[in-house]
Structure formats: structure tokens, C-alpha cells
Amino acid sequence: EPEVTQTPSHQVTQMGQEVILRCVPISNHLYFYWYRQILGQKVEFLVSFYNNEISEKSEIFDDQFSVERPDGSNFTLKIRSTKLEDSAMYFCASSEATGGQTQYFGPGTRLLVL
Amino acid sequence: QQQVKQSPQSLIVQKGGISIINCAYENTAFDYFPWYQQFPGKGPALLIAIRPDVSEKKEGRFTISFNKSAKQFSLHIMDSQPGDSATYFCAASISGNTPLVFGKGTRLSVIA
């Protein structure tokens, strides 16, 4: 069964450093999303991406965040200058362009900012 | 108005019992209501979903009940098993490929 994959599974970084989280969505999906989950809290939407541009973003997704689809398979989330409060689990999700709204989530990247 | 309120925060159920988790929403534009199951260290996995044109949907031991007028929906897990022990999130979204708004989650523990 096709699945969303994410790398790395864990990332430890120093405050102020840049991190790039990578995702490979399901191959025939055209909508991509990033969500985050701070430990013990609910899953929160960050950004959605379609047709090589951001379609929606939340107030969490400020100027330090950016997304990119650098090739036909990868979808990345970059955090330019990490803060302590960026420590969270980051989930990538993808969905088909038509016929449904089901979003399939990857296993997540646990980011720890020290 | 974008919130989805979920209760209870945690739930302990005996093996074989019924687990019931409730959610309520305000935004009447929501028209897709999925439930996700999450095991520790894993991503949320879609369990079952419903649209407001039906009042109930059943898949195996899992049933969603939907009350459009009350703006509430609930997940029922029949014959709960220890393997069902996980965190369950309700969510809602507006038609199309739009962001999911999640509830805060319910940690279910099924004890033998």
C-alpha cells in the first residue's frame, strides 16, 4: 500500500540553525500539507501546497518557514532560524486532487531544538 | 469558530466494552469529519470518516454517529480490545483539499 515517507525520523539542532524536513508524498497525490504536533497537544495545520504554490497557511507559518517541491517526488519544509518553541513532531500529509479529501499522514519527524 | 472540541481527554475501558468519544464543532461550513488513530511515535492514521448527508457510518467495530443539528459527532468502538489503546483525534474540514482542524485528542486505554 502506498504511504507517505518522511526523513529524518529525528533531528536535533541548536537554536538559530536552519533545518530541512523532507517528505515523499504518495505518488499520484497532488495536494501536500505540513502539520505539527507539540508534545501532548493536538495536531496543528501549518501549510498546504498545490500546483507548486502555497494554497493556504496558518498563522504559525511565519517568515521563518518555507516549503518547496524541489523535484517530482520530494516536498520539503525549511525552518530558517529555529527557536526552542519549534520543538515538535512535524507531519507531512498528502491527498488526491479529486474524488476525496482523505489526507494520508507520514510517520513524522521529531524535531528537538536545544 | 474554527475549533473542534473533543471529550473526554482520557478514557479507560474494560476489554469488550464500548468506547465513546465525542466531538463538537461550530463552523457549519465543515462537511467532512474524519477520525484518526495515533499510536505513540507514529503519524495519525485515518480510521473512519463521515459526511453530513448521513447520520451514521459503520466499519467493523468502529461507528461514527453524526448529529447535524447539534453539530456533534462521536466515535463508538464496540468490543474494545487492548490493541485499540491509542490516541484518537476527531477532525473536520471544508469541502475540497482544505486543512484539517483537529480536536485535542482522547487517550484511550483498554484494560484486560
DSSP A51: T
**Residues of chain B under the 50 pLDDT cut:** none
Instruction: For residue A98, give every residue at least 6 positions away whose Cβ sits within 8 Å of its Cβ, in sequence order, or none.
Output: none
Among chain B residues, CA nearest to A50:
B97
Integer Cα distance of A39 and A85 in angstroms: 11
DSSP A86: G
Please list every residue in chain A whose beta carbon sits closer than 8 Å to the beta carbon of residue B95.
101
Residue-level pLDDT at A99: 59
Residue contact A101–B96, C-beta within 8 A: yes
Integer Cα distance of A44 and A31 in angstroms: 17
pLDDT digits (tens, 9 = 90+) for A73-113: 899 999 999 999 999 999 999 998 765 678 999 999 999 99
Q: Which of A80, A43, A41, A89 is nearest to A62 (CA)?
A: A80
Q: Are A52 and A111 in contact (CB under 8 A)?
A: no
Instruction: Name the grid cell of A9.
Output: 525520523
Q: Which of B97, B100, B106, B107 to mutate to test the interface with A (most CBs of A within 10 A)?
A: B97
